[in-house]
Amino acid sequence: MPVHATRPRHRPLTIIVALALAAMLTLAVAASAGAKTVWLCKPGAKNNPCEISRTATVQNEDGTTSVERSPGVKHPKIDCFYVYPTVSGQKTAIADRTVDPEIRAIAEQQASRFSSVCRVFAPMYRQLTLAGISTKTPTPAESKLGPADVLAAWKEYLAKYNHGRGVVFVGHSQGAFVLKQMLADQVDPNSRLRKKLVSALLIGGNVTVKKGKDVGGQFKHIRACRSAKQTGCVIAYSMFDTQPPANASFGRASAGFGGTAGSSLEVLCTNPANLAGGKGSLKPYARSVAFPGALAIGINIVPDVPTPWASSPKQYTAQCRNAQGAQWLNVTHRPSDPRPAVKALIGAAWGLHLFDVNLAWGNLVDDVRAEAKAFAR
């Protein structure tokens, strides 16, 4: 019986090209994900936006002012690992790791005052841009790049810089979402790493817990901070000056970013001005330099003072509230106070999201300072 050669099948050239391009993209993404960390802030770095002057003009309700200096601790015994929120004005859906002016500005706005109590490490990451949350749609592969950058930076920090030190995680908005997933995957299930956790400040990131509980949603072990002497815990909240609407982006476990319909969970609220519960007075700090880029319109108060910062103590009070499925940090500006108040300029669903950190920055630094002492003990 004769043997006949089988004629090979040939795929059309277009399919071969498409497969080749897909393979190249996969390899490029994989190589890119493993790229060396670019540090926005790191101790000893030149032009470090996390180590700028903290001198502030204190503006009192009666019109008097004074100058406040914040020398900080010379040799802090803990570190802060900061991941910044959505600020990139790049036109693509996902940013590259160029340190653009708005990236430097947000580190100054949200991380620099922590350098009075900790060494600040902040990685650049390929975040979802402002265009990416409005007009552009990232691919699934692109969406994984930012979290991969942060995870790689965390592992590099552990290997090269930690040396057994305690760590405070600080993230706002997109930064908080990235950090809470990394903490859930890497730290919460790992008792060795949990021992390094001083606290996690996951602000404007919809951290969830079981209803009426301090744990059981996002994390199984990391509980809500209810005292400044407590460590290994999380401080989380979203600011509104009124009850969040039904379509709120924050404060609702059944809506907003990452929400699930019919959820048995609720969004955690811990008041940085009174971790034990109840009302507290906020300690806001605002930069006296206008914010660059598209977000400048949302950050609507730039104080006219001769120092890099302005502070307006006792202008606002805050208290966690829970109503109609929402849990949020309710911020009240006293009507009789003549100092200008911040306003929600990007829609009721976002509340005071742009001011989540700065309105309570003095409180957050105080909390971390107390937690650092408790951690040392």
Q: Is 370 left (phi over 0), alpha (psi -120 to 50) or beta?
A: alpha
Residues with Cβ within 8 Å of residue 339, at least 6 apart in sequence: 59, 61, 312, 315
Domain contains 137: yes
Residue 6 scores a pLDDT above 60: no
260: confidence class by pLDDT, cuts 50, 70, 90: low
Pairing of strands 285-287, 309-311: antiparallel
20 or 286: whose pLDDT is higher?
A: 286
Distance between CA 185 and CA 91 in Å, rounded? 31
Per-residue pLDDT tens over the stretch 294-346: 777 666 678 999 999 999 999 999 999 999 889 999 999 988 899 888 887 77
Query: How does residue 262 score in pLDDT terms, banded at 50, 70 and 90?
Result: low
Residue 41 exposure: Cα atoms within 13 Å on the Cβ side: 27
Residue 29 resides in a domain:
no
Q: Is-above-0.85 flag for pTM?
A: yes
Beta carbons of 249 and 256 less than 8 angstroms apart: yes
Q: 20-71: per-residue pLDDT in tens?
A: 333 333 333 333 445 689 999 999 999 999 999 999 999 999 999 999 998 8
Highest mean pLDDT (candidates 94-98, 247-251, 349-353): 94-98
Q: Domain for residue 11, yes or no?
A: no
Q: Residue 291 contacts by C-beta under 8 Å, 6 or more apart in sequence?
A: 102, 105, 109, 299, 302
Has residue 28 been placed in a domain? Answer: no
Q: Say what the pLDDT of residue 261 is.
A: 57
Residue 268 lies in a domain: yes
Tokens 């009789």 label which residue? 336
Judge contact between 117 and 372, C-beta under 8 A: yes
What is the Cα–Cα distance from 169 to 175, expressed in whole angstroms? 10
- Return the residue matching tokens 């911020």: 331
Cβ–Cβ under 8 Å, residues 332 and 316: yes
Handedness of CA 316, 54, 172, 202 (dihedral sign): negative
23 is a domain residue: no
Domain tally, the chain: 1
Tokens representing 141?
Answer: 């592969």
Count of CB atoms within 10 A of residue 128's CB? Answer: 22
Residue 255 lies in a domain: yes
Write the DSSP string, 277-344.
Answer: SS-EE---EEESSPPPSGGGGTS------SSSEEE-TTSEEEEEEEETTEEEEEEEE-TT--SPPP--
Contact between 221 and 189 under an 8 Å Cβ cutoff? The reply is yes
In terms of phi and psi (left: phi > 0; alpha: psi -120 to 50; beta: otherwise), the region of 232 is left
Are the C-beta atoms of 292 and 105 separated by less than 8 Å?
yes
Of 64-73, 105-114, 219-228, the least confident: 64-73
Strand partners, 117: none
- Category of 21 on φ-ψ map: left (φ > 0), alpha (ψ -120 to 50) or beta: alpha
Distance between CA atoms of residues 199 and 179, nearest Å: 12
Quote the pLDDT of residue 16.
Answer: 33
User: 115 lies in a domain?
Assistant: yes
Q: What is the pLDDT of residue 334?
A: 86
pLDDT by residue (tens digit) across 136-188?
999 999 999 999 999 999 999 999 999 999 999 999 999 999 999 999 999 99
* Mean pLDDT confidence for 5-26: 37
| Exposure on the CB side of residue 156, measured as CA atoms within 13 A | 17
Structural domain harbouring 213: 36-376
